[in-house]
Structure 1
Amino acid sequence: MTRARDLHQRGLNALNRGRPLLGARAFRAGLRIAPDDVRLLNSLAAAEAALGNTGQGFALLDRADQLATPETAGLLRQQRGLLLILVGRMDEALVCLDQAIPLLRRDPLVLARTLLNRAMLHQIAGRVRPALADLERCERLGRELGLDRLVAKAVHGRGSCELLAGNIPAALRDFDRARVVYESHADGMLPVVAVERARALLAAGLHSDAATELDYALARFPRTRMDQEHAEALLTRAQVALAAGDLTAAKTWASRAESRFRRRGNETWAAVAAVTKVRAEFKSGKRLGVVAAHAAELAGRLTDLGLQNDAEAAELVAARACLARGDIGKARGHIRARSGPKSLPETRLMRRLALAELGAATGDRRAIFANARAGLDLLRDHRSRVGSLDLRTTTTSLGRELARAGLAAALDHGSPAVVFGWLERSRAQAFRFQPARPPDDDDTVEAVAELRQLAHQVRTAELAGKPDADARRRCAQLERVIRARGWQAEGTGEHFADATFGQVRAALGDATMVSYASADGRLWALVITSARARLVRLGSLATVSESLAKLHSDLDASCGRQLPAALDRVIKASIQRRLEALTRELVEPVRPMLGDSDVVIIPTGALSAVPWGLLPDMTGRPVTVSPSASTWLAGRGTELSAPSRWLFVAGPDLAHADDEVLQLAKVYGEGAVLLGPDATVASTLQALDGCTTAHFAAHGHHERENVLFSRLDLSDGPLMAYDIHQLQSAPAHVVLSSCDVGQTVVRNGDEILGFTAALLYSGTKTVVSSVASVDDDAAVDVMAAYHRGLLQGRRPAHALADATLIQPLMPFVCFGSS
């Protein structure tokens, strides 16, 4: 019998490591020695269920029940409860686990595992408090027993509850804590926790990162033979594809998940997968009558199965499909009077969207505004709870649709004040929160240091014409690690109020604000002065985006190059055509209201990359570009300090950097000047913190794929956008005179990321930078003229307007408030 006990323990170890196939082999070997051993039968039932053989699992439990003793009764009840969970019979499972727990007081190990399973059951049903109570008790028992793996699973479960409650940073922290233990004690659980991380990232709107986690998990599940978890990963992959707008992939993944659940006999999870597939079918806009009927049928099935949240989500799909077909009566019947107490945030958002769409269908503008506003308020509350800028600047697909519904109704209404309110409610919301510093724990600090050293190595290799592919791959890996650590930062829960229409008009003085918006592929301009406001319909966003892309290509082609005369004339003529096209689309329709006033531009989407000063109407005119009217007004509330603490930094491998910085230092007199080997990241950050004016003449790199790591090259490595958020007191005014680090990546909701954006988020009031490549030689005189203007008391936008007149095609933009 000693041999049977050894085999049983070996099987349990394999099962707890997430290796059910190895566990099943050990249990079967033990049963060949001791065929009536209840514990071996019980454990083999668990292994068979994990492998997808639930029928065999129940048969083994039935056999074990016939051999049960008072000492094993609790063990068998808890195992039956677990199998019932795996086949979706939740109510029966809860009864079994409730019966088992009082019987297991003398077996703390099995009791802890049973609490873990009951917590999972509570979590699936949306009962967060009882789930957390069971997990706390399980974790305590695990620590008393010295079982790190069990403690990790309890922490893992707590992360799932935090995710259910909407606390994404806390969930990610718990998942990472569990993952560290799994790496050394339960590697088979790594794909399971990867799926949970993917769910958290999906909830945050980071679809690409979620897909990466899932691809890792899906590649490993076949080795572990964890069939239920594999099916759940397929379902989550479908949900990620749906959120990313890849409807074909969403339907394919959901179908695969549904088939796998059905093979397991799990009709509950199969129905949830079917809802995901029908949501993708609705999004495709085809066969909406069939979609509505199927969604309604699924809602009834899910209600019978006790999954009220999923049932409500299915009903809302049916309602929206009916609305799209014009069947308002049926749509009303599918929208509940109120969401249930266990409805998830996504379902509550979907209900608000359905009610807004119902308002649009019935001409009830008040209902549109009320429901779109309530939904966006829910999203703002969610954003206030995260500290990572990466998470704050993401928007869920439902959030985009809510904002679109509110703005469309506002544009239809036509009131400038109403349109203004909806623009401010739905754009650049990340600026409404206090800046949060990135994590500065030892692991993160070490990763950042390694990234800086390797990035410097990559840059050196590139300049030598010998690219270092291995170092580049390691840099990408470190960037992912640092971003992931940042996601765990929590916000304060507080936010700043949006600016009101009246406040902005009062602050404009003699200036004119042009706030651009897009809806259904068309651009609009809301033109505001202190005396009047007007909503102007413009042309196609696609047309403007195409002209802008071609302009950038031409500017890059002509920048700082000695081209053959004929080619130079062709490119210059092309640039003028692109500028004229942009003028026709963006400026001519609003020209009557501009006069000769200063202009404040609030761009949308691709318009963040317009070199406004090159447009004929704007040349020589003070222009300030800000992410939102609220951001502009907040900056105006604090007058730009007169230059007192100056910083001038020259980066390496830039021919005129030293001359530019030394020339500016003469203009200012005293100030910190960092040249050559003195221009390190550490010395720059120290001098930058709290200074009034900083000027960088350094190569910059706008990282479109990972904008938190857009950077300036310094002597010992890059100064990254990530580093800017570490500043205790951001510089009031920053000038970036080289390259194109004024460019940004614009996420949905006009959320911006990049080096310039990092400065603005950190509290810098004004940033002057370029949205296209700059001729560094020609920029020296422009920058000298600009700083002389500042010292003469001119505001940045005025000083820049004058300075750029001395050189053609200088694509500098004054960002923020001026």
Structure 2
Amino acid sequence: MTAGSESVLELLPMVFADPGEARARADLVLHTDPSPLHASVAHQVIGIWQRDFGDLRIALRHLRRARDLAARAESAEREADVLATLGVALVHAGRTRQGLASFEQGVARGSGHTRARVLYRRAYVWWVLGRHREALEDVRRALPVLRQVRDDIWTARALTLRATVHLALGAVDRAVADFTAAERLWETTGQEHDKADAVESRGLAAFRSGDIPVALRLLDEAEERYAKLGTPTFMLSIRRCEVLMAAGLAPEALAEADTAIALLDRIGGQSTRKAELLLAAARAARSAGDPDTAIARAADAVRLFAAQRRAWWAAHARLVLIEARAAAGNRSGRLVADAAAVAERLASFGSPAAPEASLLAGRIALALGRTADAERHLTAAARGRHGGPPTARVTGWAAQALRARAAGSGRGVLEACRRGLDVLDDHRMTLGASELRARATAQGAELAALAQEASLAHGGARRLLEWSERWRATVLSTPPARPPADPALLAGLTAYREIAARAEEARREGRPVPALEREQRRLERDIRSRTHHIRGDAPGGGDRFDAGRLLDRLGPARLAELAVVDGRVHVLLCGEGRVRRFAGGSLAEAVAEAEHVQAGLRRLAHPGSEARLPLVEAGGRRLQELLLGGAVPHLGSGPVVIVPPGALHRVPWALLPALRERVLSVSPSAGSWLRARETEPPAGGRHVLVRGPGLATGGAEVSELADRYGTATVLEGEAAQASRVLAELDGATLAHLAAHGTFRADSPLFSALRMADGPLIVHDFERLARSPYRIILSSCDTARLASVGADELLGLVTALLPLGTAGVVASSAPVNDAAVVPLMLALHKGLDAGLSLAEALRDARAAQPGDPVHQATGWAFAAFGAA
């Protein structure tokens, strides 16, 4: 073989080492009047590039030309190699029969080393088609030959493929062993695209092992590698969608899948990948509570998979389609039969998703009263509760709980729910980011609801309280894990603050901001991504709630936890050494009433809206009927702690007549109140006062408070920069922040307080070693929270409580800046006299003028925690 021939043949491995350079050189070859053999190689290289990174129609034209030229060159080995490449492209185009026929010809034409490479590529196609046994058989035949001739590149590819097939069959340990062996080989080569694929594959293995933070980190690393090569990879999007959904980030997964589908359509890419992306989008839409979108995407995926003769994939898409139809309210005997058939089909393929289909069939059968059918399907689903990844075991325990409920065994329901939630607890604590921990609880929502329902039917009020606490505000049980000092994250937070400040300044001056907003969104994505990489290191599931300890610590106080069972509110009143239950009203009605009251408070923040006051007060009376019901006469005369579910976090509790003149505090859970109650203040008694820019009153209370406290650290003007503020807040006894607050419902951990150099966001507060023992946030909307997961709340207040803060005063509504000043001064007067935050806030409300603006301002503020 001549030197020129060797140079041209080197283009083939270059496609996955430096794809852009390989394509450019192949184009040059075709412009030099090459021989049929060289032209065949050049067309094959361009065909591979277009197949994997571009337009599949163009790829097929080049690969057919490469095949014809190989035949003209009378090179059987060359022809066999091209036939294999063409076979992959045809299958990706949805022409499965033609693709497999091309492979048959390739296997027949090739020999030795070439045939082994053809077998590897056919194994890849079997995997794409979901025919895993055939894939493993072809890899088994190819590997010894590839190893014998010391072809490290193709050996590593074959090992990577075998590992991927093992993952599809649930054999994680085998997959990890193959991925590890492949990676050792990749390090000896210059195959940069293949190396990126190996990183992506390790991310998939980490996910299958239950390590979501490592999976997200590796997938992000793979994306960076692909970006440097200029090679879009749709498989990465599919895998990331799966991990994002497991992390509770279904809306993000749906957006990623839809974006990838649009790009694939625009470039004329692989039909097989489009089908897989449609399936990923359907799963994400189902998880995000959008059954209509899920049905549409899943139906399209089923049609494509069927046309591509991909039975394994089609069965998985049918499962999602049936799940979405059930979620949309379609419950019928036909749907039970369809789910059972899919379960049987998935089991025949050895798919780990088979128990999920059996659970679905059992759940629908139960809803239809077909108990015998339900028992059969649920028994099949429950077999997976003792093994496999966390999600599979939770599926098994959910099936076992439903079986127990159908048999009338309250004890069996509670035991199954306990075991299933223990699995999720262990999984949740591997996550370091508070956002992921909160969202992961959604996977336990059904188990928690079943346990509460069983407690209500078979147990007393105390048991219902314990189960209400079991899966509520779990994020507050332990602080979020933090990296020692991630320079990239710190740099990202600083850049974000600078860009956000520039965008805000541009808006004030009427200058265009789209470019700044795009950069701000990019930085937000990067910050979130980096926090998601953090692994949890806390053992177990955090503190366990102890009702006896709560009752001992309450003293003369009463704690009213509002549990929601089947859409109805139940008041669990704790005090005097016992727990009593009182019936409340409809949760949906209470949520609607709370929104009306919030709208009224927004109006009352502005003078001239006095006519709204009677309507707001009437709303307070209706909320009391719905939320406290018969518990009102039993509240006693001491302090009251309200523990609402996430859906009711915006209720202005001080507006309710029975609570208006009380020492009142609010807590996300009884357990978090107990931890706050037992939190000791730091030594030193350090006070910090912060005044941010742009306040209507200029933060007038800060100057007076500085005179009151004398030795307090005062940060204002240019001194009120985020890094300085954080440094002073760390470990302070009392902090008062007068700064504009912004709540981000779309991304609650980017809710912010405005400092001199830009926003101070929740992610910043999570870096504190210890947040202030008491903290007062005197601006609008600082107590607004986002309800996520099963019953979790994300926002500024809940970020502070696990970090050492025992009490927070903040507002859940817009407030009148001028009316805030006297309220805050009166609040600090009470604190200076030795009162708690709740006591001082009650007295401060009472000391305000009786006009509607001041009244509404007082109602908008609440004391959280127990300090």
| Among candidates 285, 308, 311, match of residue 241 of structure 1 | 285
SS at match of 1:187: coil
Q: Structure 1's 497 and 562: CA in aligned 2 closer, same or farther, altered over 3 A?
A: closer
- Other-structure match for 1:209: 252
Deviation string 1:617-648 (CA, Å, 9 cap, x unpaired) is 22232112111111111121223458711100
Answer whether contact 2:53 2:269 (CA < 8 A) is retained: no
CA-CA distance at 1:404 after TM superposition:
0.9
Q: Bigger CA drift: 570-579 or 93-102?
A: 570-579
For residues 396 and 728 of structure 1, the distance between their equivalents in structure 2, rounded to whole angstroms, comes to 26
Is the partner of 1:188 in helix, strand or coil?
A: coil
| CA–CA distance in structure 2, aligned partners of residues 712 and 238 of structure 1 | 37
Q: C-alpha separation between the residues in 2 aligned to 1:310 and 1:451?
A: 41
Deviation of 1:588 (Å): 5.0
Rounded to whole Å, the distance in 1 between the matches of 2:370 and 2:642 is 42
The answer to whether structure 1 residue 149 and structure 2 residue 190 are counterparts is no
Q: Is the 8 A contact 1:127 1:342 kept in 2?
A: no
Decide whether the 8 Å contact of 1:522 with 1:539 is kept in 2. yes
Q: How far is 1:48 from its partner?
A: 2.1
Mean Cα displacement is larger for which, 41-50 or 703-712?
A: 41-50
Conserved? CA contact 1:179–1:193, under 8 Å: yes
Distance across 2 between alignment mates of 1:422 and 1:215: 38
Give the secondary-structure state (helix, strand or coil) at the position aligned to 1:525: strand
Shift of 1:464: 4.2
Structure 2 equivalent of residue 634 of structure 1: 675
- Which SS does the other structure have where 1:145 is aligned? coil
Q: Which amino acid aligns with 1:510?
A: P
User: What percent of counterpart residues are identical?
Assistant: 34
**2:112 matches 1:70:** yes
Matched residue, 2:790: 749
1:698 counterpart (723, 739, 743): 739
User: Which amino acid in 1 is paired with 2:862?
Assistant: V
Q: Match for 2:318 among 274, 278, 299?
A: 274
Residue 439 of structure 1: how far off its partner (Å)? 8.5
Cα offset, 1:77, TM superposition? 2.0
Give distance in 2, aligned partners of 1:504 and 1:342: 36
Cα distance in 2, alignment partners of residues 777 and 24 from structure 1: 71
Counting only pairs closer than 5 Å after superposition, residues 464-543 of structure 1 correspond to structure 2 as: 464=509, 468-494=513-539, 495-543=541-589
1:127 is aligned to 2:127 = no
* 2:231 equivalent in structure 1: 187
Q: Is the 8 A contact 2:248 2:789 kept in 1?
A: no
Whole-angstrom CA distance in 2 between matches of 1:562 and 1:349: 54
Residue 4 of structure 1 is matched in structure 2 by 40
Partner residue of 1:611?
Answer: 652
Q: Which amino acid aligns with 1:633?
A: L
Q: Equivalents in 2 of 1:27, 1:587: separation in Å? A: 73
Q: Report the Cα offset of residue 498 of structure 1.
A: 1.8
After alignment, is 165-174 or 578-587 more displaced?
A: 578-587
Q: Structure 2 CA distance, aligned partners of 1:445 and 1:73?
A: 52
- Measured against aligned partners, the alpha-carbon deviations of 1:438-492 in whole angstroms (never above 9, x if no partner) come to 6854443333222212221233344445573442343233222211221111101
Q: Which residue pairs with 1:670 in the alignment?
A: 711
CA deviation after TM superposition for structure 1 residue 163, in Å: 1.4
Out of 368, 378, 388, the position equivalent to 1:325 is: 368
**d(CA) in 2 for partners of 1:621 and 1:250?**
48
- What is the match of residue 100 of structure 1? 142
Secondary structure in 1 aligned to 2:182? helix
Q: Distance in 2 between matches of 1:349 and 1:343?
A: 10
8 Å contact from structure 2 (residues 774, 805) kept in 1:
yes
Please give the per-residue CA displacement for 1:243-267, whole angstroms capped at 9, x wherever unaligned: 1222222222111111111111111
How many Å separate the matches in 1 of 2:60 and 2:600? 66
Superposition CA RMSD, Å = 2.1
User: Matches of 1:668 and 1:340 in 2, distance apart?
Assistant: 59
Tell me the secondary structure at the aligned position of residue 815 of structure 1: strand
CA contact (8 A) 2:682 2:773 kept: yes
Between 1:786-795 and 1:141-150, the stretch displaced more is 786-795
How many residues of Structure 1 are paired with residues of Structure 2 in the alignment? 811
Provide the TM-score with structure 1 as the length reference: 0.95
Contact in 1 for aligned 2:823/2:845 (Cα 8 Å): yes
Q: CA 1:92–1:613 in 2, change beyond 3 Å: closer, same or farther?
A: same
Q: Give the corresponding residue for 2:421.
A: 376
- Residue of structure 1 equivalent to 2:353: 310
Is this contact kept in 2: 1:188–1:224, CA < 8 A?
no
Moved more, 575-584 or 150-159: 575-584
- Aligned-residue offset at 1:311: 2.4
Please state if 1:291 is matched with 2:332.
no
Please, which of 606, 620, 628 is the counterpart of residue 661 of structure 2?
620
**Residue ranges of structure 1 left out of the alignment (5+ in a row):** none
Shift of 1:605: 2.6
Shift of 1:69: 2.1
The answer for the alignment partner of 1:40 in structure 2 is 82
TM-score by length of 2: 0.90
* Equivalent residue, structure 1, for 2:861: 812
- Does the 8 Å contact 1:292/1:321 carry over to 2? yes
Distance in 1 of aligned mates of 2:710 and 2:64: 85
Query: Aligned partners of 1:584, 1:313: CA distance in 2, in Å?
Result: 41
Amino acid at match of 1:817: A
Question: Partners of 1:98 and 1:224 in 2: how far apart?
Answer: 34
Inter-partner Cα distance in structure 1 for 2:745 and 2:803: 20
Deviates more, 1:86-95 or 1:694-703: 86-95
* 1:715-754 paired onto structure 2 within 5 Å: 715-754=756-795
Task: State whether residues 643 and 791 of structure 1, in contact with CA within 8 Å, keep that contact through their aligned partners in structure 2.
Answer: no
Structure 1 residues 301 and 542, CA gap change in structure 2 (3 angstroms): closer
Deviation for aligned residue 1:103: 0.8
Q: For each residue in 1:362-417, what CA deviation from the matched residue of structure 2 results, as whole angstroms up to 9, or x when unmatched? A: 21101111111122112211210101111111146542111111111112235121
In the alignment, is the contact (CA less than 8 A) between 1:204 and 1:396 conserved in 2?
no
SS of equivalent to 2:737: strand
1:611 deviation in Å? 2.1
Between the aligned partners of 1:653 and 1:467, the Cα distance in structure 2 is: 21
**Aligned residue for 1:592?**
633
Deviation, 1:539, is 0.9
Maintained 8 Å contact 2:831/2:837: yes
Distance 1:554 1:643 in 2: 43
Q: Separation in 2 of the partners of 1:556 and 1:287?
A: 43
SS in 2 for 1:694: strand
Q: Where does the alignment leave 5 or more consecutive residues of structure 2 unmatched?
A: 1-36, 849-854
| Partners of 2:673 and 2:866 within 8 A in 1 | yes
Q: Could you tell me whether the CA contact under 8 Å between 2:305 and 2:313 is conserved in 1?
A: yes
Aligned equivalents of 1:755 and 1:518: distance in 2? Answer: 25
Which residue identity lines up with residue 666 of structure 1 in the other structure?
D
Secondary structure, aligned partner of 2:571: strand
Using the TM superposition, give the Cα deviation of residue 748 of structure 1 relative to its aligned residue in structure 2, in angstroms.
3.6
For residues 684 and 705 of structure 2, the distance between their equivalents in structure 1, rounded to whole angstroms, comes to 13
Alignment map for 1:760-799 (pairs within 5 Å) = 760-799=801-840
Please give the per-residue CA displacement for 1:328-365, whole angstroms capped at 9, x wherever unaligned. 22222222362188744333322322222222222110
Q: CA deviation at 1:528?
A: 0.6
Return the alpha-carbon distance in structure 1 between the equivalents of residues 129 and 499 of structure 2: 50
Residue 601 (structure 2) pairs with residue 555 (structure 1): yes
Aligned partners of 1:794 and 1:95: how far apart in 2? 76
CA contact (8 A) 1:525 1:535 kept: yes
| CA distance, structure 2, for counterparts of residue 512 and residue 321 of structure 1 | 42
SS in 1 for 2:480: coil
Deviates more, 1:60-69 or 1:482-491: 60-69
Residue 139 of structure 1: aligned partner: 183
Which whole-Å CA distance do the structure 1 matches of 2:274 and 2:343 have between them? 25
